[in-house]
Structure 1
Amino acid sequence: MTTIGEALIRLLEAHGVDAVFGIPGVHTIELYRGLARSGIRHVTPRHEQGAGFMADGYARASGRPGVAFVITGPGLTNTITAMAQARADSVPMLVISGVNSSATLGRGLGYLHELPDQLGMMAKVALSSRQVVQAAELPGAIAEAFEIFATRRPGPVHIEIPLDVMPLPAEGLRPLSRTLATQVPDIVSIMAATRLIAASQRPLILAGGGAKRTEAALVALAGKIDAPVITTTNGRGLMHGHQLNVPASPSLKAVRALMADSDLVIAVGTEFGPTDYDMYGDGGFVLPRRLIRIDIDAAQMQRRPATVSVQAEAGAALVALAAVVDSRSRAADGADRARSAREGAWQEIGPDMQAQVAVVETIRNALPGALIVGDSTQPVYAANLYYDHDRPGGWFNAATGYGALGYGPPAAIGAALAVPDAPVVCLSGDGGFQFTLPELGAALDGPAPVIFVVWNNRGYREIETSMLDAGVEPVGVSPVPPDFIAIASAYGIAAERIHGAAKLGPALLGARATGRPFLIEIVVA
């Protein structure tokens, strides 16, 4: 007899899932019944939040949904932080949980891991939260999740299966076949956008995370209309080294000046969130007067009105525009405008942040094509303001959007398992690293040859600085860091401590040569 738990594994395989992240528990044992005999790899984090962050990193690196298995109650609530980060950054994540037996739900009888309304709670965080109560519902629930990932702005989806439902017979279940066609733009919106472009003299493109897999089409359109391209944090890595690229935050005055000087802005896959466009909270960002928005999500379009809205997958819309716009003679000053903005932004961030950006550039130059997965730490903050990565989608972190500390280590493990041939570096601070420090063990289990770079300034230095700037005496911002080298050694992971970043390049090359997880601690004065 095939059970619902076994059928679930087969359905996930049919939808292309090759890895799941989770900690087994008595409330999910039946979900694991068919896992050992499947082609799906299971990775055990040391905390369910790590399972969610690993699924997030896997999804960002691979472009495929990350999948987590968690128990009901605390397992699921531990995963909520990761789900909220995924929702903020439009990351496809499927969380499959157990829930107590059907007859007990909502009755407050005190069962193990009981929540008053688990499904209702998850509906507040997930794009969709669905309970499966009989075998026939399972193929549709899985298909619906993957349809959401493919046809809408992605994010977390939750499916729960009650304890008494998991072992029920589920013979003959087959995956539902749904046509998941690329969402193409309608001709009316494309022609309206084309007319605006034709009438402009100084166009500009904003490329967000929704554009990170569209580099060829983005380069083609930008070149045809001679438009500088500003890449937000989640768009970094696009157009590396290109003369039209401005890899700098729209929160900087020099970048805002470029936007203000443009007579048309084309925004591709960006939500205009304050952590990208107004991170200093000065209210200095205003929507451009002439704006073309390209986004897959209709609700997102309504939040920020545009002159012309093109609802479509970013790549399809860029290809359609590039095919019809006229590469007519212009002032051809796009490269000059981009260079001026780059130079102004670089000077604006100042010497301290320039030095921190240099740390990130050292990683990029030592390990070309690496995925750099960041946590909230000083070099990451600085590079989010200004940094040109060399791999589309290869720079991501949790310092924008939801802003969850502890994201970097588990997300880097997920990324390394998704793209095993690429170097993966986790850049974390000593404070944030302690949030998910035990995931070093999961890197060994993988094995995931992540290079963990710990920026050790002995505390939450950005928060301390903010307190001082506000005239508040710093309290609670100097947690004592452990001996990271000793902890790595306890896990059997090789490690190296350097003072300052001068020796970081050689240390990275040595770490990469081992082919195993490695920890580099940078002690900052």
Structure 2
Amino acid sequence: MNLRESTRHFHERNVSMANSDVTPSPQTCGEALVTLLETYGVQYVFGIPGVHTVELYRGLAHSSIRHVTPRHEQGAGFMADGYARVTGKPGVCFIITGPGMTNIATAMAQAYADSIPMLVISSVNARSQLGHGDGRLHELPSQREVFDGLAAFSHTVLNAAELPHVLARAFAVFESARPRPVHIEIPLDVIVSPMKAMKASPAVRPAKPAAHPAALALAVDLLADACRPLILAGGGAAHAAPELRELADRLQAPVALTINAKGLLPRGAPLLIGSTQSLPPTRAMIREADVVLAVGTELGETDYDVMFDGGFAIDGQLIRIDIDAQQAMRNARPDVAIVGDARDALSALSTRLHERPVRPASPDWGAARVALARDAVMAACDAAAHSQQRLIDTIIGALPDAVIAGDSTSPVYAGNFLHDAPAPRAWFNSSTGYGTLGYGLPAAIGAKLAAPDRPVVCLTGDGGLQFTLPELASAVEARVPVIVLLWNNFGYGEIRKYMDQRAITPVGVDIYTPDFMALARAFGCEAARADDPQTLDLALRQAIAREIPTVIEVREADWFARVPS
């Protein structure tokens, strides 16, 4: 069969599928995978084709799924991560055996740490070759075991008939449990094996677990009698903004948000503390609370103790809502544990509190106490933090509905404390959880694919950008007009300061810095310099009108000289 006949045959098969719930046979396992992903609503696949994955691509060109080619598998994972953070749906990757998988490992670890849904489908050597150590191409001693610790589960498909069931398990994790990466590997001989007739519709997806009535009743008793209630909300509540706001208003409870929960309360909300749980004014307020409700948050170090001083504490009674029963017991033991979906649990608490008397909050609590804490935080910030806040405020002023995907860089750290996002899923970065570098650019590409009608800004440093700089070519090729806002301090500035503070002679931090403007143009992007708010505002407004990526360089020393506070 020649290429033209193959295309016609595939088209005829798809037409037949549209009129039937059963996929005609024969179809290879690789082709069936593409069909199944379509039924689950997958829009994009991120990957670099290789000799061990080409059979996964056999049906892809004629499907509804768009393929995006990064320049490194780590970029594929970060793109999938950015897509997932904006949509709440899993980003999907096709990855080759061995080096492709070890390349994507960092991205999987970041997604695992931040509870981000990601489906990584890889090849693996043929079944008869597994575990022999014969030195075959891309061979690992046990690829599945390597990645089992970076995923909700890692599974080897030993026959084609397993594939629909394993995918059903994966999407059950994404939608009904704590979302994390899932790794499915398919041996080379299984990818090309025939698939028996299968239903061309997705498996029924289980509902999220509901909170237990007894636990809800205990929580309601504590909250109704509280004089100084307070809420700590995390990324696990990102889909529950209306329910969180209603409960906070009913209780007049101040709300502190983790980095991945920014935007759950709108900017300027009187009860919004912000994301300053690691700073003394907010920590003091949390210790004053007599009842703390923690919903969808690990209570982990990168949101509550980024100074690494062990100073975060909850003195009042603690209620925890988490979809993960084990996580509900980590870091701080609760007085009441509610295992279930955040939206369901918050809604149930509001309903029950509406049906019974609630003690009014203390008159010096609520919005009045929040205002004091926020004022104290702002007064304690140094000039650099205020200056970098101006940078972020300029972005939002020019692009009010922007999604900002950040790397581990100084302005992102300042924004984690001081920026209040206008909506959920509009501010995220890699400085939390696993804390990798090189995340911002590819994550912004994934975010822009997820939200093509919104501006997407990558906020990155010169060190971090050099980790994944070639992904500028991916953005140009995929026609993704992201805006890269490059904070250039000519080296690893934060680590340099860290070494200076510890009286360590700086070594390895003053790295060679290339001409980013020339590089951006060489990759096919537009490029501009902006060292003050007015110039940056203009550059952002010009960038949003373009159909290609724009790199805007801001040099730290020049910005600080022009924007001292």
Instruction: Calculate the TM-score normalised by the size of structure 1.
Output: 0.98
On the 8 A contact 1:184/1:316 being kept in 2, the answer is yes
Which residue number corresponds to residue 65 of structure 1?
A: 90
The answer to whether structure 1 residue 242 and structure 2 residue 273 are counterparts is no
Amino acid at match of 1:234: N
Structure 2 counterpart SS, 1:297: coil
Which residue number corresponds to residue 362 of structure 2?
A: 331
Which residue number corresponds to residue 168 of structure 2?
A: 143
Structure 1 counterpart SS, 2:552: strand
Post-superposition shift, 1:490?
A: 0.8
The answer to whether structure 1 residue 271 and structure 2 residue 289 are counterparts is no
On the 8 A contact 1:72/1:100 being kept in 2, the answer is yes
Name which of 298, 305, 322 aligns with 2:350: 322
Aligned counterparts of 1:381 and 1:481: Cα–Cα separation in 2:
22
Which residue number corresponds to residue 449 of structure 1?
A: 481
The answer to whether structure 1 residue 178 and structure 2 residue 178 are counterparts is no
Within-5 A mapping of 1:224-239:
224-239=250-265
Aligned counterparts of 1:227 and 1:123: Cα–Cα separation in 2:
40
Name which of 288, 293, 314 aligns with 1:287: 314
**Which digits, 9 at most, give the CA deviation of each residue in 1:287-332, with x for residues without a partner?**
3430010111011012232011111111111111111114554435
**Which digits, 9 at most, give the CA deviation of each residue in 1:239-272, with x for residues without a partner?**
1221101113210001101101111110011101
Aligned counterparts of 2:502 and 2:192: Cα–Cα separation in 1:
58
Aligned counterparts of 1:502 and 1:352: Cα–Cα separation in 2:
18
Which residue number corresponds to residue 324 of structure 2?
A: 297
Structure 1 counterpart SS, 2:204: coil
Which residue number corresponds to residue 102 of structure 2?
A: 77
Structure 2 counterpart SS, 1:305: coil
On the 8 A contact 2:122/2:186 being kept in 1, the answer is yes
Which residue number corresponds to residue 42 of structure 1?
A: 67
Within-5 A mapping of 1:18-417:
18-174=43-199, 175=201, 177-240=203-266, 241-303=268-330, 304-325=332-353, 326-332=357-363, 333-417=365-449
Aligned counterparts of 2:392 and 2:223: Cα–Cα separation in 1:
36
Instruction: Calculate the TM-score normalised by the size of structure 2.
Output: 0.91
Post-superposition shift, 1:9?
A: 0.4
The answer to whether structure 1 residue 458 and structure 2 residue 484 are counterparts is no
**Which digits, 9 at most, give the CA deviation of each residue in 1:422-468, with x for residues without a partner?**
11000000000000000001111221111000001101111000000
The alignment yields a C-alpha RMSD, in angstroms, of 1.2
Structure 2 counterpart SS, 1:95: strand
Structure 2 counterpart SS, 1:506: helix
Structure 1 counterpart SS, 2:231: strand
On the 8 A contact 1:353/1:382 being kept in 2, the answer is yes
On the 8 A contact 1:363/1:505 being kept in 2, the answer is yes
Aligned counterparts of 1:401 and 1:501: Cα–Cα separation in 2:
31
Which residue number corresponds to residue 468 of structure 2?
A: 436
Amino acid at match of 1:317: A
Structure 1 counterpart SS, 2:150: coil
On the 8 A contact 1:406/1:433 being kept in 2, the answer is yes
Count of residues in Structure 1 that have an aligned counterpart in Structure 2: 525
On the 8 A contact 1:501/1:522 being kept in 2, the answer is no
Aligned counterparts of 1:399 and 1:47: Cα–Cα separation in 2:
21
Amino acid at match of 1:320: A
Post-superposition shift, 1:492?
A: 1.6
On the 8 A contact 1:278/1:284 being kept in 2, the answer is yes
Consecutive unaligned residues in structure 2, runs of 5 or more? 1-25, 558-565
Aligned counterparts of 2:544 and 2:43: Cα–Cα separation in 1:
25
Aligned counterparts of 1:48 and 1:168: Cα–Cα separation in 2:
26
**Which digits, 9 at most, give the CA deviation of each residue in 1:272-297, with x for residues without a partner?**
11111111111101234300101110
Structure 2 counterpart SS, 1:353: helix
Within-5 A mapping of 1:494-513:
494-513=526-545
Amino acid at match of 1:373: A
Structure 1 counterpart SS, 2:374: helix
Aligned counterparts of 2:426 and 2:209: Cα–Cα separation in 1:
25
Amino acid at match of 1:147: A
35-44 vs 285-294, which moves further: 285-294
Consecutive unaligned residues in structure 1, runs of 5 or more? none
Amino acid at match of 1:178: V
Amino acid at match of 1:428: T
1:515–1:247 distance in 2 versus 1, CA, 3 Å: farther
Structure 2 counterpart SS, 1:69: strand
Post-superposition shift, 1:176?
A: 5.2
Aligned counterparts of 2:274 and 2:537: Cα–Cα separation in 1:
23
Post-superposition shift, 1:209?
A: 0.9
Aligned counterparts of 2:239 and 2:402: Cα–Cα separation in 1:
16
Amino acid at match of 2:453: D
Structure 1 counterpart SS, 2:60: coil
Aligned counterparts of 1:347 and 1:449: Cα–Cα separation in 2:
38
On the 8 A contact 2:224/2:358 being kept in 1, the answer is no
On the 8 A contact 2:124/2:186 being kept in 1, the answer is yes
On the 8 A contact 1:234/1:393 being kept in 2, the answer is yes
* Identical amino acids, percent of aligned pairs: 51
Aligned counterparts of 1:71 and 1:40: Cα–Cα separation in 2:
19
Structure 2 counterpart SS, 1:522: strand
1:410–1:228 distance in 2 versus 1, CA, 3 Å: same
Post-superposition shift, 1:500?
A: 4.4
Structure 1 counterpart SS, 2:287: helix
On the 8 A contact 1:213/1:393 being kept in 2, the answer is no
Aligned counterparts of 1:154 and 1:496: Cα–Cα separation in 2:
39
Aligned counterparts of 1:188 and 1:54: Cα–Cα separation in 2:
42
Aligned counterparts of 2:532 and 2:193: Cα–Cα separation in 1:
59
On the 8 A contact 1:371/1:391 being kept in 2, the answer is no
Post-superposition shift, 1:516?
A: 2.6
Aligned counterparts of 1:467 and 1:490: Cα–Cα separation in 2:
35
The answer to whether structure 1 residue 10 and structure 2 residue 35 are counterparts is yes
Post-superposition shift, 1:501?
A: 4.5
On the 8 A contact 1:254/1:348 being kept in 2, the answer is no
Structure 2 counterpart SS, 1:499: coil
Structure 2 counterpart SS, 1:426: strand
Post-superposition shift, 1:335?
A: 0.6
Post-superposition shift, 1:403?
A: 0.4
Structure whose CA Rg is larger: 2
Structure 2 counterpart SS, 1:21: strand
Runs of 4+ in 1 over 3 A off after TM superposition: 326-333
